[in-house]
Amino acid sequence: MADGTSVPVGVMTPAMAGARRAGSMKRFAQRRSTTAFLLCLPLILLVAGFVVYPAFYAIWLSLLNKKMTAFVGLSNFAFLLKRNTFQLVIFQSCLFAITAVIAKAILGFIIAHLMHNIPGKNQRIWRGLLLVPWVVPLALSTLTWWWMFDPSYSAFNWILEELGFGAVPWLGVGWIARICTITVNIWFGTPFFMIMYLAALKSVPEQLYEAAAIDGANAVQKLFFVTLPMMRNIIAITVLFSLIVTFADFDIVRILTGGGPQDMTHVFATYAFQVGIQSGDIPLGASVSLFMFPILAVAAFFVLRGVTRRTKEIAA
Amino acid sequence: MSSTTAVAENVPQTRRTHSSLHRQRTWALWGSYVALGVFVIMFLVPPFYTLMTSLKSSAEISAQQGSPWMVHHPTLENFWYLLTYPNFQTFYLNSVMITIATVVVSMVISVLAAFSLARMGFWGSNVLSTGVFLTYLIPASLLFLPLFKIVGFLGLINSVWCLVLLYPTLAVPFCTWIMIGYFSSIPKELDEAALIDGAGYLQMLWRIFIPVAMPGIIAATIFAFTVSWGAFLYPLAYLYTSNQMVLTVGIVSDLIRGDVFQWGKIMAGVVLASMPPILIYAFLMDYYVAGLTAGATKG
């Protein structure tokens, strides 16, 4: 790689003949693109070997039987779709992702606005404190939540009992457990929304608000006609990122409930883990996680198309 | 909205209502502080509870008396137990080794690629940058089963080093993306000047681009660190003996024996394991935030 990079641009003096100059320019460009390609090679190998190849391999695996000896076509998918548990998994994944993302988006928006109200010097401290849930690794902080949801002598049940209510079996009853997993996800993900919105709020030019104020706009109108339109791209990107991460979430459900009670909290990732790793049926597990792909791809397509279109509008 | 009439109406009003406007502002400010305070308390409940529990002795936890939110007899015995516990030391050491290796590998790959994609370009480089971005959108839980077969084929099941191969796939796309943004913002005149002075591309990258884009490099490094320190699915799926485990899975699998939950020790483990990210965050918060929001400003 070393000789490809030491391109002697400096020796190209004006005295050189025109023809030779064109030739060396061509060679220069060629070397340049070879070097460029070599610099990208590690990235290409990594992505090809551990992302693209596994993705196609997953499709191939999902078409095999449990022992991976025979080709069974789409019968893994057909089997899954008929299974009651898997229908629950689809419902729960969507419920988990959609409620959590909406709640995170709204809470993050409110907190970012509150934060934007207070003077810059104090913002750092508040922002610093509010980002802590995002900084602690999720697998570790979920352990704390697990402990707080403990049925016998736990943080929440103690408060409830002090207030005269009965103890709640947090992770033991289907719907409560679902709400618990969603709550933990909201707690973890809201700071991310907050920080993205705060950056976006700061990038809205002050003149726009002044112009709106001169036009007699009140706070609500400023929000809907200035802030939100200016932030649309960032909101879209943040929601897309969060949707993907939330939809594919593994840590929270795996640690808090392991999918229980009666499979009522399983999401795609945890169910794929249970089927593929714990029961050893890798093809069926691969089929489970492949169900995520079309849903994510559709979401990504529409969000990114919208973002590109708006970016072009701004540029035009 | 006709702006001229609005201005004409507003001028006398603003003078009259100046003091009440000021009072309104003060109220809004205090309201914001109070609301933020409520949110901060809500969001910091779990960390607080972790800390409280980690300071309790096992006897105090199993006695189940008094408020669980308070420590009655603070003790460091859980921390001491973990620090002198060989398994925990192994988890910590493994985590540190894997994270350092992952960060180095990811940063080398992504800085080289970002430099090439942002500045040099070759046939298909635009497709590649889009592809890198799309790779970032593929979650780990989509690929862990085929990767299980691939890791097995490489003979790396239950070897902590398989993580050094796999973690970069989680970190590199985003790091490359951040770095492309930072490198593109460096003025073109700088590299022209370097080329005229006879510098090669690698020299240019090393002497100019890396120093100038240092904030971006720090932000990307922090991102790679966070990803590899906190990842849970891959180690849980591919590692099963305690000498090969990392912190995120080790704490769960080692401190929970059957039905016995040693909550004090688990929480102390959580505190110790969260220390590195928290410290980095405390000292480099601005870079951390810059890395997080890089997507927003560039996208």
Q: Does any CB of chain A come closer than 8 Å to the CB of residue B66?
A: no
The full 3-state SS of A129-194, as one line of letters, equals: HHCHHHHCCHHHHHHHHHHHCCCCCCHHHHHHHHCCCCCCCCCCCHHHHHHHHHHHHHHHHHHHHH
Give the pLDDT confidence of A150-181 residue by residue, as tens digits: 887 778 888 888 888 877 888 888 889 999 99
Please give the pLDDT value at position A94: 92
Alpha-carbon gap: A248 to the closest alpha carbon of chain B (Å): 6
Helix-helix angle B140-153:A282-290, to 10 degrees:
150
CB B277 within 8 A of CB B229: yes
Q: What HEC string does chain B produce?
A: CCHHHHHHHHHHHHHHCHHHHHHHHHHHHHHHHHHHHHHHHHHHHHHHHHHHHHCCCHHHHHHCCCCCCCCCCCCCHHHHHHHCCHHHHHHHHHHHHHHHHHHHHHHHHHHHHHHHHHHHCCCCHHHHHHHHHHHHCCCHHHHHHHHHHHHHHCCCCCCCCHHHHHHHHHHHHHHHHHHHHHHHCCCHHHHHHHHHCCCCHHHHHHHHHHHHCHHHHHHHHHHHHHHHHHCCHHHHHHCCCHHHCCHHHHHHHHHEECCEECHHHHHHHHHHHHHHHHHHHHHCHHHHHHHHHHHHHHC
Q: Per-residue pLDDT tens for A214-248? A: 888 888 888 888 888 888 888 888 898 899 889 98
pLDDT at B60: 83
Mutate to test the interface with A, among B2, B13, B56, B137 (most CBs of A within 10 A): B137
Q: Is the pLDDT of residue A91 over 80?
A: yes
Contact state of B125 with A40 under an 8 Å Cβ cutoff: yes
Mapped onto helix, strand or coil, the DSSP state of residue A8 is coil
Contact: A39, B285; criterion CB under 8 Å: no
CA atoms within 13 A on the CB side of A275: 24
Residues of A in contact with B43 (CB under 8 A): 129-130, 132-133, 187, 190-191
CB nearest B176 (choices: A43, A255, A285): A43
- Residue A22 pLDDT level (bands cut at 50, 70, 90): low
CA distance B90 to B94: 6
pLDDT score of A267 more than 80: yes
Determine, for residues B142 and A233 on separate chains, whether the beta-carbon distance falls below 8 Å. no
Q: Is B215 on the interface with A (CB under 8 A)?
A: no
Q: Taking a contact as any Cβ pair under 8 Å apart, which residues of chain B between 118 and 157 contact chain A? A: 120-123, 125, 128, 131-132, 134-135, 137-150
The residue of chain B with its CA nearest to that of A55 is B143
pLDDT at site A188: 94
Tokens in use for A87?
């229908």
The per-residue pLDDT for B79 is 92
B195 contacts on A by Cβ (under 8 Å) = 7, 9-10
CB contact under 8 A, B251 and A127: no
- Tell me how crowded residue A33 is: count the other CB atoms within 10 A of its CB: 17
Identity of residue A29? A
Task: Name chain A contacts of B176, Cβ cutoff 8 Å.
Answer: 43
Interface test with B, best of A131, A140, A282 (most B CBs within 10 A): A140
Give CA–CA dist A63/A285, Å, rounded.
11
Can you tell me the mean pLDDT for A305-316? 79
Tell me what pLDDT residue B298 has: 46
The CA distances from residue B70 to A159, A163, A310, B52, B54, in Å, are 12, 17, 52, 6, 11
Residues B279-289 have pLDDT tens digits of: 998 888 888 88
Helix axes B162-184, B140-153, angle to 10 degrees: 130
Determine the residue type at A25.
M
d(CA B28, CA B14): 18
The dihedral sign for the CA sequence B53, B54, B60, B62: positive
pLDDT values of chain B reduced to their tens digit, one per residue, 299 residues = 344 444 444 444 545 556 777 787 788 888 888 999 999 999 999 999 999 989 988 888 877 777 788 888 888 988 999 999 999 999 999 999 999 999 999 999 999 999 999 888 778 888 888 888 888 888 888 899 999 999 999 998 899 899 999 999 999 998 998 898 888 888 888 888 888 888 888 888 888 889 988 888 999 999 999 999 999 999 999 998 888 899 999 888 888 776 777 888 899 999 999 999 999 988 888 888 877 776 555 43
Q: Token pair of B287, please?
A: 């870079």
The C-alpha atoms of residue A242 and residue B139 are separated, in whole angstroms, by: 11
- Stretch A287-293: mean pLDDT, rounded? 90
Residue A9 has pLDDT above 80, yes or no: no
Note whether B35 contacts A: Cβ–Cβ < 8 A: yes
What's the CA angle centered on A36, arms A31 and A38, to 5 degrees? 95
Is B263 an interface residue toward A (CB < 8 Å)?
A: yes
- Residue A294, preceding peptide bond in cis (omega within 30° of 0): no
Nearest residue of chain B to residue A269 (CA atoms)? B141
Q: How many residues does chain B have?
A: 299
Tally of CB atoms within 10 A around A67: 10
CA distance B194 to B187: 12
Both tokens assigned to B194: 């370097």
Would you say residue A13 has pLDDT above 70?
Answer: no
Q: What is the pLDDT of residue A179?
A: 93
Chain B residues lying within 8 Å of A308, measured CB to CB: none
Place of tokens 């790396």: B156
Note the pLDDT of residue B231: 92
Q: Which residues contact A156 (CB under 8 A, 6 or more apart)?
A: A148, A149, A168, A170
Query: Cβ contacts of residue A178 below 8 Å, gap of 6+?
Result: A92, A95, A96, A264, A265
Q: What is the pLDDT of residue B261?
A: 79
| Per-residue CA distances from B112 to A8, B209, B247 (Å) | 21, 11, 31
What are the C-alpha distances in Å from B46 to residues A144, A151, B51, B263, B291? 6, 16, 9, 14, 25
Residue written as token pair 């593994």:
A250
Among the listed residues A13, A9, A12, A15, the one whose alpha carbon sits nearest the alpha carbon of residue A32: A9
The pLDDT value recorded for residue A205 is 85
- pLDDT for res B4: 42
CA distance B271 to B50: 7
What predicted TM-score, i.e. pTM, was given to this entire model?
A: 0.85
- Please indicate if any CB of chain B lies within 8 Å of the CB of A128: yes
- Give percent of chain A with pLDDT exceeding 90: 32
Picking from A10, A154, A234, the nearest residue to B196 by CB comes out as: A10
Nearest to B147 by CA among A34, A240, A282: A282
Residue of A nearest to B170 (CA): A51
Cα(A140)–Cα(A181) distance, integer angstroms: 15
Structure-token pair, residue A128: 């610093």
CA distance B119 to B185: 10
pLDDT in tens, A29-66: 777 788 888 888 999 999 999 999 999 999 999 998 88
Chain A residues within an 8 Å CB radius of B201 = 5, 7, 32, 35, 39
